[in-house]
Amino acid sequence: MAGLTLSRETRGQFAAIARVRWQLTFNSLRTIRGRLEMVSRVLIGFWFTLGGIGGAIGLAVGSWFLVSNEKIEWLALMFWGIFLFWQLFPVVASAFIETFDSSNLLRFPLSYPAFFAVRLVYGSLDPATLLGCLWLLGIWTGISIADPRLLVGAGLALFVFAAANILLARMIFAWVERWLARRRTREIMGVLFFLIIISFQFIGPLAGRFGGKAHPDVARFTDLLLPLERLLPPGLAASAVAGFAHGNFLGGAASFAMLCAYVIAFFWLLNARMVALYHGENLSEGLARVSPKKEKEKLPVRVGWNVPGVPGPVAAIFEKECRYLSRSGPMLFTLIMPIVILMIFRLTPLKTDRDSFLLRAPDFAFPIGALYALLMLTNLVYNNFGADGSGIQFFFVAPVRFREIVRAKNLVHASILALEMTLVWLVVFFVFRPPSLDFTLATVAGILFAAPVNFAVGNLLSLYTPKKFDFGTFGRQRAANTTTFASLGVQAVVFGIAAAAIVPAYFLHRMWIATLALLTLAAIAFVFYEFVLSRVDRIAIARRETLISELSRV
């Protein structure tokens, strides 16, 4: 790559790019939505900064301790943690954010060095890089305080380690950036991210259950991995610092040289991809195209679903909603959460003093699982049209009353709830203990009361405070603030009433009282639901402009 000479034109281009970035941010503040977005970014930034500074202090103390106690090789653990975070976080976070497509820059007369520099700098201004650098600074501080002789040597090693991380992260992104720009890939990454998050939930219970036992296989596996670990950047950075610390300058210099070699290799690979991108190559185009073999595939004529007892349009909406849900990784994920939560409760340690509430009172496992299932539907129920996007216009030009559309959507919600409750009941049956008949009946009565109330209020809020969301994307899929607060209020009231009916009846050993009370409330709730439904057409017509403009927003 030719050296980057900052000609007047290049300086002007850099200034223009920085300025347009600033203008985009500034212009986004013109709307309330944009301002709220900025506030949330500032808050997130604040927490990130706290985490970064806290982490840096922790790492400084840790590295000071290791160096002071002659355990410098253990620094590798810290370097590995930082390395993994630095490389994995941006890839996984791409599921939540739209990536900047710098190929847009190619139409401008930007020289290659300028293009490379913009890509490198723009891409490196991410939380992972900022946090990684901050944490390395903390480690360097800790090492230098513990042993001031290492100030320069450790500084150099950590600087090169940081460079290796930045270049590797950029290299990975240069190869997969466009791939990640595809909806389906982002969905897969989002699912993986949530799987990781859920697996973290199991660590505590599993460690409590299986911890404290020796596992020779793990030790053997670790012995195999250690030599390999020392040849990779985090291990090399630790070896270089350790070499300098122990007076083994040759060993330290060798590790440092290998680390530099990694930097050169990453740079070379990044440069190769950048040159190709600069000349217009796009890795993803081939992936998006349908293969000739696939093009020939044709599906036979398939008729729509027949849902017994409901009119054609309602059945059509029912089918459409089910297809939407079945294609939404994030939504399916949300819907399995009640099962996951019950499993987590079940796996908590069996020692009597640390038993979870559900292990001590398994009768409540089914009601709690059922209520959790209802809670998981909040996003769907309280933002009925969120996923329809500009398709909402079709509902206004179709010869179908809005109450039928809403009823069809509620039918889907009710079906999901019924399915979830069945699954929860089965999990409780096999994992805890068979739920008693009186608890099962009381829970079903409670849901018959809670669901219509939620559906009725949800239908109103769906019309009054709609918010577009993408079924295929994790994160940033929040309902309107009003909806969130109102739904929380409704849930609190409904759950409170249900608890007020169930708990006293449980202690009186008269669960039928709770069932009867909840069934009475269910009848009232159903009347309330029908009352709201009868008003839906008028509200939808009155609110159509807001609905269309809010949901068709790009």
Partner 1 sequence: MDAPAIATQGLTRRFGELVAVSDVNLRVVPGQFFGFLGPNGAGKSTTIKMLTGLLAPSAGTIQILGHDLTANPVEVKRQIGVVPEGMALFGRLTGSEYLNFVGRMYGLDRETAAKRSAELLEFMQLADQPKTLVTDYSHGMQKKLALAAAVIHGPKILFLDEPFEGVDAIASTTLKAMLQRMISRGATIFLTSHVLEIVERLCSHVAIIHRGLLVAQGSIEELRAGVEAQSAAALQAGDAQAAPPSPGEKLTLEEIFLRIVGGARLADQELSWLG
- Taken as a whole, the chain contains a residue count of 554
Q: Is 293 in the site for partner 1 (CB under 8 A)?
A: no
Question: Residue with structure tokens 């190559």?
Answer: 281
> Side chain identity at 351, as an amino acid letter?
K
- Region from 8-16, 115-123, 139-147, 288-296 binding partner 1, contact rule CB under 8 A: 288-296
Q: What distance in Å separates the CA atoms of residue 329 and residue 334, rounded to the nearest whole number? A: 9
Closest separation in Å from C-beta 470 to partner 1: 9
The residue (of 294 and 360) whose beta carbon lies closer to partner 1 is 294
In the chain, % helix, strand, coil (3-state, to 5) comes to 80, 0, 20
Closest CA to 28 of 40, 18, 36: 36
31 binds partner 1 (CB under 8 A): no
CB nearer partner 1, residue 384 or residue 515: 384
Taking each helix axis from N to C end, the angle separating 8-28 and 32-68, rounded to the nearest 10 degrees, works out to: 110
Q: Which of 217, 223, 295, 353 binds partner 1 (CB under 8 A)?
A: 295
The residue (of 312 and 504) whose beta carbon lies closer to partner 1 is 312
> What are the structure tokens assigned to 547, written together?
């609905």
Question: What is the C-alpha separation between 359 and 547, in angstroms, rounded?
Answer: 46
User: Who's near 90: CB < 8 A, 6+ residues apart?
Assistant: 126, 128, 169, 173
| 12 scored as a contact of partner 1 (CB under 8 A) | no
Q: Specify whether the CB–CB gap between 490 and 474 falls below 8 A.
A: no
Task: Tell me if 552 contacts partner 1 by CB under 8 A.
Answer: yes
Among residue numbers 401 through 420, which ones bind partner 1 (CB under 8 A)?
Answer: 401
| Residue closer to partner 1 (CB basis): 159 or 396 | 396
For residues 450 and 98, give the distance between their C-alpha atoms in angstroms, rounded to a whole number. 37
- Min separation Cβ 396 and partner 1, Å: 5
The answer to whether 63 and 78 have CB atoms below 8 angstroms apart is yes
> Per-residue contact track with partner 1, 153 to 192, x per CB under 8 A?
------------------------------x---------
Kindly tell me which residue out of 471, 474, 506, 529 binds partner 1, with binding defined by CB under 8 A: 471
**Region of residue 476 (left: phi > 0; alpha: psi -120 to 50; beta: else):** left
Asked if 538 touches partner 1 (CB under 8 A), the answer is: no
* Closest to 377 measured CA to CA, from 339, 423, 310, 332: 332
* 54 touches partner 1 (CB under 8 A): no
Q: How far is the CB of 535 from partner 1 (least distance, A)?
A: 17
Number of residues engaging partner 1 in binding (CB under 8 A): 45
Q: For residue 504, give Cα distances in angstroms to 366, 498, 508, 511, 512.
A: 17, 11, 6, 9, 11
At 126, the amino acid letter reads D
Q: Is 550 in the site for partner 1 (CB under 8 A)?
A: no
Residues whose CB falls within 8 Å of the CB of residue 107, separated by 6 or more in sequence, listed in order = none
Closer residue to partner 1, CB minimum distance, 57 or 548 = 548
Q: What letter represents residue 539's amino acid? A: I
Return the axis-axis angle of helices 329-347 and 365-376, rounded to nearest 10°.
Answer: 160
Angular region, 436: left φ>0, alpha ψ -120 to 50, beta rest: beta
Question: Site for partner 1 (CB under 8 A): which residue of 85, 122, 324, 429?
Answer: 324
Supply the minimum distance, in Å, between the C-beta of residue 475 and partner 1: 18
Does 285 participate in binding partner 1 (rule CB under 8 A)? no
Q: How far is the C-alpha of 495 from the C-alpha of 515, rounded, in Å?
A: 15
Q: Does 545 bind partner 1 (CB under 8 A)?
A: yes
- How many whole angstroms separate alpha carbon 512 and alpha carbon 440? 11
Which residues from 303-322 bind partner 1, rule CB under 8 A?
303-304, 306, 312-313, 315-317, 319-320
From residue 369 to residue 398, the character string flagging contacts with partner 1 as x (rule: CB under 8 A) and all else as - is ------------------xxxxxxxx-xxx
Distance in Å, CB of 406 to partner 1, minimum: 14
Stretch that binds partner 1, among 41-49, 229-237, 259-267, 540-548 (CB under 8 A): 540-548
Q: According to CB under 8 A, which one of 220, 246, 323, 538 is a site residue for partner 1?
A: 323
Location of structure tokens 């060095």 = 113
Q: Specify the residue, 32 or 290, whose C-beta has the smaller distance to partner 1.
A: 290
Least spacing, CB of residue 412 vs partner 1, in Å: 14
Residues that bind partner 1 (CB under 8 A): 183, 290, 294-299, 301-304, 306, 312-313, 315-317, 319-320, 323-324, 327-328, 387-394, 396-401, 471-472, 541, 544-545, 548, 552
